[in-house]
């Protein structure tokens, strides 16, 4: 695309890359996705502040945007040892069913463990999102329980399945390139 600069690649593995997030990435992914399991918008302020960090998901070697990923801290107490990263992934419809979500989740987990001191990563998805559940399991996440009524989609409160993965759950993997960024 004319006028767009090269993305900075943060980490790569198995034909996908985490790359610098650019303005318009979310909108481009939304336009190419059915957004079936996306929650309803809610612009109400929350009583605490945290940064949501974002990266683009790129198919290698084509350099095509196939999704976006994000993460933010979830405090379970006042110390780093009681903090978890919560991750999310949104893929374009065309990229689903090819294990990109599982590979992307695993890539992001490894990246977070390589570049931060937090020892836990978690993710949630609706129980009806069978591809999402399978992707998290393929990425090594363990199902931990149900968060009742935690999201709103289609105007209805819905339960989410909570998955977690600890640093100690991972096997060493020398095939992934991790370049620190973003915090």
pLDDT tens digit sequence for 125-164: 999 999 999 999 999 999 999 999 999 999 999 999 999 9
Residue 53 confidence class, pLDDT cut points 50, 70, 90: very high
**Does 176 fall in a domain?**
no
Q: 54-58, 72-76, 102-106, 172-176: lowest mean pLDDT where?
A: 172-176
**Does 179 fall in a domain?**
no
**Does 51 fall in a domain?**
yes
Residue pair 16/62 in contact by the 8 Å Cβ criterion: no
Placement of tokens 């931990």 in the chain: 144
Other residues' Cβ atoms within 10 Å of the Cβ of residue 62:
9
Cis omega (within 30 of 0) for bond into 61: yes
Q: What number is the average pLDDT over the span 41-55?
A: 84
- 3-state SS record for 9-73: EEEEECCEEEEECCCCHHHHHHHCCCCCCCCCCCCCCCCCCCCCEEEEEEECCCCEEEEEEEEEE
Name the DSSP letter for residue 173: -
Q: What is the pLDDT of residue 173?
A: 58
Q: What is the tally of structural domains in the chain?
A: 1
**Does 34 fall in a domain?**
yes
**Does 129 fall in a domain?**
yes
Checking if the pLDDT of 35 tops 80, the result is: no
Mean per-residue pLDDT over the chain, rounded: 87
Domain CATH for 74:
3.40.630.30
Checking if the pLDDT of 108 tops 50, the result is: yes
**Does 175 fall in a domain?**
no
Q: What is the pLDDT of residue 179?
A: 43
**Does 64 fall in a domain?**
yes
**Does 177 fall in a domain?**
no
Q: What number is the average pLDDT over the span 87-109?
A: 92
Whether the full predicted model's pTM is greater than 0.95, yes or no, is no
Residues of the domain holding 50: 9-170
Q: What number is the average pLDDT over the span 99-121?
A: 95
């Amino acid at each position: 695309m004319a006028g767009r600069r090269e993305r900075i690649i943060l980490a790569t593995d198995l034909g996908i890359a985490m790359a610098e997030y650019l303005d318009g990435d979310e909108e481009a992914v939304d336009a190419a996705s059915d957004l079936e399991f996306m929650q309803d918008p809610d612009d109400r302020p929350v009583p605490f502040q945290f940064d949501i960090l974002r990266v683009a998901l790129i198919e290698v070697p084509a350099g095509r945007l196939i999704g976006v990923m994000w993460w933010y801290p979830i405090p379970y107490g006042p110390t780093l040892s009681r903090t978890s990263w919560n991750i999310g992934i949104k893929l374009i419809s065309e990229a689903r069913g090819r294990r990109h979500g599982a590979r992307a989740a695993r890539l992001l987990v490894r990246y977070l463990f390589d570049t931060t001191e937090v020892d836990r990563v978690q993710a949630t998805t609706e129980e009806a999102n069978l591809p999402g559940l399978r992707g998290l399991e393929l990425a090594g996440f363990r199902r931990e329980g149900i968060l009742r009524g935690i999201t709103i989609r289609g105007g209805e409160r819905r339960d989410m399945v909570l998955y977690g993965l600890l640093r100690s759950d991972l096997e060493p993997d020398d095939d992934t390139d991790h370049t620190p960024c973003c915090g």
